[in-house]
């Protein structure tokens, strides 16, 4: 099965989606959206949901940024950077919404730069070290499939701001998933060495899948995405016992704190600075 065929299968039902990142667009996705928390919506739960989704995006974006100057080709460096910018844009909108919903008025910088590792609620797969390119695309495939399935459901959320962020994010995440799927097939169905590396990457990611299933009930959608891609790549998704703990509860690997130290260093050294 060709990687184009995999893309067409995954994109079924989304024929109007283009095949490039949306992060460079100038349209305000929240233009005209009432930011008042609707009556009947639990503001605390809304804020917690926004923070968790934003943390996933911010940490993933930071890991993708590590591929700048390290990607196999310039075209892939640009693509990964664009995907990271998409996720960073989602994080900014979601952090802002969290500050509005919880009543603190905190801005995106307060959430991103002035919280410690135990205060973050991202899933642990996002924070693992970058590894090789095979692991980068496997992780991107898993996280984008999982996030896309959840964002599709959030398009119907009673909070209009979260629904608008999700609607924009669906377009971006469809591209992210497509990009990762094409590379997974290319590497899995490539040389003996690329196939071996893809198997190793799947083995590394598999123990963290249970945490994703616990966070959101989108197991069937994600499993079908991964089945299609691994089958086309001549691979099998390994089954591992899920690791205990959860990033959603602030239980992280030892890799998150150093990542945040690098991310937050300038802001903490010069609090309140603007440029």
pLDDT tens for each residue of the chain, 275 residues long: 454 555 445 555 444 444 334 344 445 656 677 788 999 999 999 999 999 999 999 999 999 999 999 998 999 999 999 999 999 999 999 999 999 999 898 999 999 999 999 999 999 999 999 899 999 999 999 999 999 999 999 999 999 999 999 999 999 999 999 999 999 999 999 999 999 999 999 999 999 999 998 878 898 999 999 999 999 999 998 888 889 999 999 999 999 999 999 999 999 999 888 76
Residues whose CB is less than 8 angstroms from the CB of residue 13 and which lie 6 or more positions away in sequence, other chains included: none
Q: What is the pLDDT of residue 10?
A: 59
Q: What is the pLDDT of residue 214?
A: 82
**Whole-number Å distance between alpha carbons of 139 and 37:** 34
Q: What is the CATH number of domain 3-14+41-267?
A: 1.20.1260.10
Q: What is the pLDDT of residue 26?
A: 44
Residues whose CB is less than 8 angstroms from the CB of residue 204 and which lie 6 or more positions away in sequence, other chains included: 128, 131, 135, 138
In this prediction the pTM is 0.89
Quickly list H helices, 155-218: 160-188, 192-205, 209-215
Kindly tell me the number of DSSP H helices and DSSP E strands found in the chain: 10, 0
């Amino acid at each position: 099965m060709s990687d184009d065929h995999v893309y067409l299968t995954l994109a079924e039902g989304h024929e109007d989606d283009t095949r490039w990142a949306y992060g460079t667009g100038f349209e305000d996705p929240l233009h005209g959206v009432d930011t008042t928390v609707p009556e009947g919506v639990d503001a605390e739960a809304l804020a917690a949901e926004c923070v968790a989704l934003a943390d996933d995006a911010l940490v993933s974006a930071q890991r993708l940024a590590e591929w700048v100057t390290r990607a196999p080709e310039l075209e892939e460096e640009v693509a990964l950077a664009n995907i990271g910018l998409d996720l960073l844009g989602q994080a900014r909108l979601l952090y802002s919404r969290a500050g509005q919903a919880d009543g603190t008025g905190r801005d995106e910088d307060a959430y991103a730069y002035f919280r410690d590792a135990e205060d973050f609620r991202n899933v642990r797969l996002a924070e693992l070290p970058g590894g090789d390119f095979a692991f980068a695309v496997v992780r991107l495939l898993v996280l984008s499939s999982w996030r896309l399935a959840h964002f599709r459901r959030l398009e119907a959320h009673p909070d209009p701001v979260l629904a608008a962020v999700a609607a924009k994010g669906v377009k971006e995440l469809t591209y992210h998933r497509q990009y990762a799927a094409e590379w997974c097939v290319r590497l899995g169905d490539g040389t003996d060495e690329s196939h071996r590396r893809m198997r190793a990457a799947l083995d590394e990611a598999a123990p963290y899948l249970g945490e994703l299933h616990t966070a959101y009930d989108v197991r069937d959608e994600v499993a079908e995405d991964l089945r299609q891609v691994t089958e086309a790549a001549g691979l099998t998704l390994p089954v591992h016992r899920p690791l205990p703990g959860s990033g959603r509860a602030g239980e992280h690997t030892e890799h998150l704190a150093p990542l945040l130290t690098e991310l937050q260093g300038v802001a903490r050294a010069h609090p309140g600075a603007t440029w």
